Amino acid sequence: MDRKCPGSSSRAGSDSGSERGRSVAVESEDDRNVERQETVDRGIGRHYPGEPVVEFLDVRCGYAAREVISSVSFRIRAGELVTLLGPNGAGKSTILKTILGLLKPWGGTVRMFGRAIASTRDFAACRLHMAYLPQIQTPPAVPVTVFDAVLLGRWGKHFAWVRRPHRADRAQVYELLEMVGMADLAERDLRRLSGGQRQRAALAQALAREPSLLLLDEPTTYLDSEAKQDLLERITELHRAFGLTTVMVTHEQLPGRAFDRFLRVEAGQVHDLSHSGGTG
Amino acid sequence: MIAELSATLSIAVVRYALVGMVVAGATFSLLGVVVVSLHLTAMRFMLMHMGLLGAAAGISLGFSPTGGALVLVLTGSLLMGPLGNRLSLSPASISGFFMTGSLAAAFLLLAATGARAMDVFGVFAGNILMLRQIDVIVVIVVGIVIVTVFVVAYREIQLVLMDRVRAEALGVPVEYITGVLYLLLGAGIAVALRLVGALLVEAGILLPGMAALRFARTLSGALLLSGLFGALACTLGFFAAVLLDLPIGASAAAASTLILAASLVLGRVCGVEG
């Protein structure tokens, strides 16, 4: 597999992770200082391996009057593949939605890409560098081709409203469909696909955003064991190939060797199971 | 027959009726795809019942029943989105609440003032042959607004109809978009009620969308087919009404029902369902 992220030439400072790691090693100190200054200038989306991408400090959050996560602190570093593991209702998805900015924290500090998030505008800026893969959904109510579904992953970053997708956007979608083994299904209606195929299309849609941070919410739920294994392999392969920071929420124990860290979420609290010193 | 048609079409009010129906059929029907996709059928009934309350208020309190219906239909469509979000209720739940409440309030109002209930229902029959030039202009303007919204926000609407949560995660202003779609639906229903009553609401908005979604493979295809089916149903209904001396609204609704029935049969027989 091509280890260069599709569209990396056009990525606004999101060329992080393993590729970045190799190139950083041969850069001079001056180059690093220039890069770091650029990091400060751009603010969001650029980071070196090991730098914090997501930080929760005493964060509280919930729905309506019900607090779901209480005083949660943890840190996820650039290039890590982290699993948030825990039973249903423990607060895993709440954490993910807080990272995505879909839920506003009730208290504490959320830092994304090294910057404290204070407003919805900050979250909006962060969203350009994040992609989200939810658990398998019922087929959409409207007809949509696999190609269109993947292309929509680029919304907001590469096109929106009257700014239409370009030829380059379409080329990248084909490249991603090749990567997830769905090029021959590009014109197929999403509603006609199996659950496993829809999740692969959703993975391609997430990657179409050219994210620095990939958030996966129970992506293997409802898949049979073969489709589950296939999706997990693709996720870990693409995580390495693109040098992404990947956070996966799951309620079931998954094959462990692919993951850098396990964070256990229980009763609104987070515990680092891998003792790698990464918790906040 | 051609001479008879020509003579009929030489009357200005008939031409207005034809233009009004075809434009409404071709453009309001785009909303049918949204109604089916977002499961807003209950909302459509809710808006019609709110119209009933507005008409009852007009008759009981001495102002225009049609004006009262239009105001409440538009108010209902405006309130729908924010209330649903604020109270964390689905469109179906909110619709049920308002539908029952409106009906109860309408009957209580009529009972309290001694107004005749049948006068209220007259508003829902509509009368396309009473159309004035200004009414046709209103239909055209609402039609243009609907088409413009779909052209400008095509990808955004596609994302919202496809998966609301993922759309939010991408940063799409989902609440605003659904709010605009609800408002357009309210405007479409308000204008359709004024034109040919409740029947054209079905003929012009819902049924073409349902038929289109049987065949289309993309959202743009569904919108195009829906517009085509809507225009076809209204045109067929209009000419059938003129030639056979039938009520126009009922003829258009019948033509729309036939198109939907044909799409169901064809989709099954030819295996071309979208």
Spell out the domain ranges in chain B: 2-264
Q: Is the pLDDT of residue B162 over 70?
A: yes
Predicted confidence at residue B104, as pLDDT, reads: 93
A161 contacts in B (CB within 8 Å)? 152-153, 155-156
Predicted confidence at residue A50, as pLDDT, reads: 80
Q: How far is A127 from chain B (nearest CA, A)?
A: 7
Contact B133, B17 (CB under 8 A): no
A165 contacts in B (CB within 8 Å)? 155
**Inter-chain residue contact A142 with B170, CB threshold 8 Å:** no
Return the minimum-mean-pLDDT range out of A37-41, B95-99, B166-170: A37-41
Smallest Cβ–Cβ distance between B156 and the set A149, A161, A205 belongs to: A161
* Distance (Å) of CA B94 to CA A191, A212, A221, B88, B173: 29, 40, 31, 10, 21
Q: How far apart are the first and last CA of chain A?
A: 35
How much is the average pLDDT of B72-93? 86
ipTM over 0.90: no
Predicted confidence at residue A45, as pLDDT, reads: 58
Q: Are strands A52-63 and A213-217 parallel, antiparallel or unpaired?
A: unpaired
Q: How far is A109 from chain B (nearest CA, A)?
A: 20
Predicted confidence at residue B259, as pLDDT, reads: 95
Nearest-by-CA chain B residue for A214? B169
Predicted confidence at residue B159, as pLDDT, reads: 97
Q: How far is B138 from chain A (nearest CA, A)?
A: 26
Q: Tokens standing for B270?
A: 């030819």
- Residue-wise pLDDT for A75-86, tens only, equals 999 999 999 999
How much is the average pLDDT of B44-50? 87
Higher pLDDT, A213 or A258: A213
- Residue-wise pLDDT for A57-114, tens only, equals 999 999 888 999 999 999 999 999 999 999 988 999 999 999 999 999 999 999 999 8
- Residue-wise pLDDT for B171-223, tens only, equals 999 999 999 999 999 999 888 877 777 666 767 889 999 999 999 999 999 99
Q: Is the pLDDT of residue A24 over 80?
A: no
pLDDT more than 70, % of chain A:
79
Higher pLDDT, B58 or A11: B58
Contact A28, A35 (CB under 8 A): no
A205 contacts in B (CB within 8 Å)? 166
Q: Is the pLDDT of residue A43 over 60?
A: no
**Inter-chain residue contact B36 with A141, CB threshold 8 Å:** yes
Among candidates A104, A123, A107, which has minimal Cα distance to A115? A123
Residue A153 neighbours by CB under 8 Å, 6+ apart: A131, A204, A205, A206, A207, A208, A209, B170
The Cα–Cα gap between B190 and B197 comes to: 9
**Inter-chain residue contact A155 with B165, CB threshold 8 Å:** no
Q: Touching check for A189 and chain B: CB below 8 Å?
A: yes
Smallest Cβ–Cβ distance between A143 and the set B152, B166, B219 belongs to: B219
Predicted confidence at residue A47, as pLDDT, reads: 66
Beta bridge partners of B196: none
Q: What's the pLDDT band for A275 if we cut at 50, 70, 90?
A: low
Range from B62-71, B193-202, B218-227, B259-268 that averages highest in pLDDT? B218-227
* Distance (Å) of CA A31 to CA A14, A23, A28, A43: 17, 11, 5, 18
- Mean pLDDT in chain A? 82
Residue B85 neighbours by CB under 8 Å, 6+ apart: B175
The Cα–Cα gap between A214 and A219 comes to: 12
**Inter-chain residue contact B218 with A145, CB threshold 8 Å:** yes
How much is the average pLDDT of A196-217? 94
- Residue-wise pLDDT for B86-118, tens only, equals 887 888 888 888 899 999 999 899 889 888 877
B159 contacts in A (CB within 8 Å)? 152, 155
* Distance (Å) of CA B180 to CA A68, B24, B174: 33, 18, 10
CATH fold for the domain made of B2-264: ABC transporter involved in vitamin B12 uptake, BtuC (1.10.3470)
Predicted confidence at residue A252, as pLDDT, reads: 82
Predicted confidence at residue B255, as pLDDT, reads: 94
Q: Is the pLDDT of residue B19 over 90?
A: yes
How much is the average pLDDT of A203-219? 94
Q: Tokens standing for A134?
A: 């939810």
Q: Is A48 exposed, middle or buried (0-12, 13-18, 19+ CB in 10 A)?
A: middle
Predicted confidence at residue A255, as pLDDT, reads: 63
Q: What's the pLDDT band for A189 if we cut at 50, 70, 90?
A: very high
Q: Is the pLDDT of residue B170 over 90?
A: yes
Contact B193, A178 (CB under 8 A): no
B156 contacts in A (CB within 8 Å)? 155, 160-161
B221 contacts in A (CB within 8 Å)? 143
* Distance (Å) of CA B61 to CA A246, B65, B73, B88, B98: 63, 9, 18, 35, 21
Q: How far is B159 from chain A (nearest CA, A)?
A: 7
Interface residues from chain B to A (CB-CB < 8 Å): 33, 36-39, 88, 152-153, 155-156, 158-159, 161-163, 165-166, 168-172, 213, 216-219, 221-222, 274
A141 contacts in B (CB within 8 Å)? 36-39, 161
Contact A141, A127 (CB under 8 A): no
Contact B191, B24 (CB under 8 A): yes
Over the range B91-116, which residues count as b (16 or more CB within 10 Å of their CB) and which as e? Answer: beebbbebbeebbebbeebbeeeebe
Q: Touching check for A124 and chain B: CB below 8 Å?
A: yes
A192 contacts in B (CB within 8 Å)? none
How many residue contacts between A and B have a Cβ separation below 8 Å? 81
**Inter-chain residue contact B221 with A142, CB threshold 8 Å:** no
Residue A170: how many other CB atoms lie within 10 Å: 14
pLDDT more than 90, % of chain B:
47
Q: Tokens standing for B248?
A: 């126009």
Contact A97, A51 (CB under 8 A): no
Chain A interface test: which of B33, B162, B177, B220 (most A C-beta within 10 Å): B162
Q: What's the pLDDT band for A278 if we cut at 50, 70, 90?
A: very low
Q: How far is A145 from chain B (nearest CA, A)?
A: 6
Q: Is the pLDDT of residue A32 over 60?
A: no
Chain A interface test: which of B38, B155, B273 (most A C-beta within 10 Å): B155
